[in-house]
Amino acid sequence: KVNELYCQGCGITIQSEYEDQPGYVPTSALNKEQVICKRCFRLKHYNEVQDVSFTDDDFLKMISQIRNTKGLIIKLVDLFDFNGSFITSLQRLTGENQILLVGNKVDLLPKSTNKNKLKNWMKQASKELGLTIQDVFLISATKGIGMEALQAAIEDFREGKDVYVVGSTNVGKSTFINRLISTSTGIEDAITTSYFPGTTLGFIDIPLDKKASLYDTPGVINRHQMVHYMSEKDLKIITPKKEIKPRVYQLNENQTLFVGGMARFDFEKGERQSFVCYFANELPIHRTKLENATDLYERHVGEMLSPPNEATLEMLPPLESKTIRIKEGKTDIVFPGLGWITVTDGDITITVHSPKGVPISVRNSFI
Ligand code: GDP
């Protein structure tokens, strides 16, 4: 019987019976000093996300235990994939507990970003998604930006209580927690090592003071995230590594932009104007005539229009289109996980295409 073991990566109960189930560790690996489940092992060594049949429910059930406790919730989102990384059922899962919303990866946003507008937009968007939050913070977990203000707020809001960090996979939760720990204790890379034991809640428990702890909860897999539809190599190309340089295209109506082979933007109707593209600097953008676009895509996706490449093409669901009319004001068309295109002037009609299952959203521009 191995029930008393917990994964050092995600905190789930370890089992050795069912390889395709959560928490699996082969018997031969049970005696290791650091036991991590197959999913975390693969995540750590190969950066693979979906190898076992964790249902979204398994995660949500674990997180819903927070409802019966008293604590402060830190909800991390990826500023580059706000909707994709938002856990919409969170309010139901966390009950009456207060929530601080933290937007991570602020280091990637262009300098011209209006931070206040961005925060206001995040507040508004959370409200629309049914979540009541106390405050919003912008941070970079890798660069350490915004951490002091956030740490001070955590101390303020928690009033001696526990802290739960929640977020979907890839938002930077591990990086964030490791940074919190290293600034307060000097221990580096704490949660990928075995300093902190899993608890009965199934969460990684990091002591804050004599009475309270900070809990790392399992990363929720959100199926609307682009990461689930591409290879690791492609993911590297679409993920911005440093501050995004906006790329501006002057388009006439009936012109199309392709973002690699992952997204397509058709300017159908409106005055000639500029469109500002915010994507990883390495991600190629192609311009073409609308009338040639479908044919071009069919012939060149996987080579000229890449990523995906020829080998990873089959992972990508077919593109689905949506026609949008924008009446006025600067508007961002957001391609989850990739970036966005800012429409600088209304009244125009566009058709946007993204992989089925990764829905495009529209917001007021914060730049
Ligand atoms: P987790 O799955 O939520 O635990 O995410 P990780 O901590 O493993 O981070 C996911 C990816 O995002 C990694 O490639 C990190 O290097 C990257 N990342 C995390 N925080 C930041 C940040 O503040 N800025 C940038 N540019 N990348 C980050």
Reported ipTM: the value is 0.98
Residue 43 Cβ inside 6 Å of ligand 1? The answer reads: no
**Least trusted range by pLDDT, from 103-107, 219-223, 334-338:** 219-223
Per-residue model confidence (pLDDT) at position 221: 66
Task: Decide: 81 and 230 in contact? Cβ < 8 Å.
Answer: no
Instruction: Decide if pLDDT at 328 tops 70.
Output: yes
CA distance 267 to 311: 30
SS3 40: helix
CA distance 25 to 28: 8
Residue 178 Cβ inside 6 Å of ligand 1? The answer reads: no
More confident of the two residues 128 and 51: 128
Per-residue model confidence (pLDDT) at position 76: 94
Residue 39 Cβ inside 6 Å of ligand 1? The answer reads: no
**How many alpha carbons lie under 13 Å from residue 135 in its C-beta half-sphere?**
12
Banded model confidence at residue 191, pLDDT cuts 50, 70, 90: low
Instruction: Decide if pLDDT at 56 tops 80.
Output: no
CA distance 195 to 33: 11
| Residue extent(s) of CATH 3.40.50.300 domains in the chain | 55-222
Residue 103 Cβ inside 6 Å of ligand 1? The answer reads: no
142, 166, 203, 221, best to mutate for ligand 1 pocket (most atoms within 8 Å of CB): 142
CATH class of 55-222: alpha beta
Q: What is the pLDDT averaged over residues 242-260? A: 97
Residue 174 Cβ inside 6 Å of ligand 1? The answer reads: yes
Q: Which atom of ligand 1 is nearest to the CA of 242?
A: 26
Per-residue model confidence (pLDDT) at position 292: 97
Q: Distance from the CA of 187 to the center of ligand 1, in angstroms?
A: 19
Per-residue model confidence (pLDDT) at position 45: 66
CA distance 263 to 334: 11
Residue 65 Cβ inside 6 Å of ligand 1? The answer reads: no
**Least trusted range by pLDDT, from 6-20, 32-46, 63-77, 153-167:** 32-46
Instruction: Decide if pLDDT at 110 tops 80.
Output: yes
Per-residue model confidence (pLDDT) at position 88: 74
Per-residue model confidence (pLDDT) at position 254: 98
Banded model confidence at residue 90, pLDDT cuts 50, 70, 90: confident
Most confident of 122-126, 136-140, 161-165, 324-328: 136-140
Per-residue model confidence (pLDDT) at position 52: 40
Q: Distance from the CA of 169 to the center of ligand 1, in angstroms?
A: 9
